[in-house]
Amino acid sequence: MVGSIKVNHGEWSTQNGNGNGNGNVNGLEEKLDELRRLLGKAAGDPLRIVGVGAGAWGSVFAALLQDSYGQFRDKVQIRIWRRPGKAVDRATAEHLFEVINSREDVLRRLIRRCAYLKYVEGRLGDRTLFADEILKDGFCLNMIDTPLCPLKVVTNLQEAVWDADIVVNGVPSTETREVFEEISQYWKERITTPIIISLAKGIEAALQPVPHIITPTQMINRATGVPMENILYLGGPNIASEIYNKEYANARICGAEKWRKPLANFLRQPHFIVWDNSDLITHEVMGGLKNVYAIGAGMIAALTNESATSKSVYFAHCTSEMIFITHLLAEEPEKLAGPLLADTYVTLLKGRNAWYGQMLAKGQISRDMGDSISGKGMIQGVSAVGAFYELLSQSSLSVLHPDQKKPVAPVELCPILKTLYKVLITREQSSQAILQALRDETLNDPRERIEIAQSHAFYRPSLLGQP
């Protein structure tokens, strides 16, 4: 078990910085000093923040901090870990070269760093570029069109995390347990307890001793022994590229009050509003659930040539299923309605899971390619479809069917989830099945599913490991 640290609680600065390099004028240094104080950092001992995993959200998160606080080099160190050896294919190298030459600021930066020539060679096929190499220059392999600031990249996991004060989990939920089990080996001699912020969206299903959900924060807790009060979840509604381009964006940090409020203020910027909430596990599960239905939204958009009616009808049905599932998971589901719908809406509009559904329905990618797609990264919704279906098909969770008047597994009231499972997991149906399900004349008005959820006692605390 990792040890604990003592912190002093005090007044928290309410000034917001905008990361434009004016330092203390915008309150950035005060916010950094306050977080250092809460963590008990001595003068001359920098606050060490490490991102683990360099997908789109993980890279943007590290770059956001670097842009804001990197100027205070004696007070904070920001770095990011990613696995070495991932080659950039020729087509991506060509695209990257086009992006570089379309941005004068990026072009000048690379020339100053004597790094431009290697991108010319990569474009010509005379050199193989690697993902960790280009990340140092500010290019995320899963988000080539959005150049970031240069980042301090570490490819040795032990070197990256052994003395970190704050670790940001940016690896997919399917890899979280494995990575943090390795990290725990490097923390055996630690005296202080790190803070962990998880960005992962996805769940695992466990059926013993009773059917329940395992989330990334729970995986981290079990792998490392870091107490849950030091583990937080940061979710949407947002799109990573929009955040870095300083378009208006939101996030929600969830966890114990001890750290979530200070961290919310540390992260908050004029263009990046950070809310905070105590309900960590439920929000984390909802973050995984919306990815499930985003895949179906992409399929509907592609199959109907972006029909506004079809997309709106799908939205009505998928949100009614999500509301029903929320009533199974949460004692006070009405508190989740706004965040859940907002996060769902942005993901359906512009997210990698919706993109995956579109490409699958158009035949431009196949299910045989798996759920890790070049240039996009891990499509978390695929594993989430399997996990939610597996859980909600358990007879021990049965609910009374309103028409049949007999107990049925909850998944029987979720026809879209059932169809996605048959398309993505068992592969017994094609993408066209989602459109057929949507237009099935026996499909009830989504209002009825919502009324059922609101009028019946469906809450199953055991699903989230509650007594």
Residues acting as catalytic residues: 290
Contacts of 140 (CB under 8 A, 6+ apart): 54, 55, 56, 59, 60, 146, 148
Alpha carbon distance 83, 407 (integer Å): 48
Whole-Å CA distances, 110 to 10, 97, 107, 138: 43, 11, 5, 10
3-state SS string over 368-391?
HHCCEECCCEECHHHHHHHHHHHH
* Strand partners of residue 131: none
Structure tokens at 69: 């606080």
Whose CA is closest to 7, among 39, 44, 33?
39
Q: Are 237 and 250 in contact (CB under 8 A)?
A: yes
Structure tokens at 182: 């390795």
Whole-Å CA distances, 129 to 134, 155, 364: 7, 15, 26
CB atoms within 10 A of CB 140: 29
Structure tokens at 440: 């099935």
Helix (H, G, I), strand (E, B) or coil at 16: coil
Cβ burial of 323 (10 Å; 0-12, 13-18, 19+) is buried
Alpha carbon distance 455, 263 (integer Å): 38
Whose CA is closest to 332, among 389, 279, 280?
279
Alpha carbon distance 417, 173 (integer Å): 20
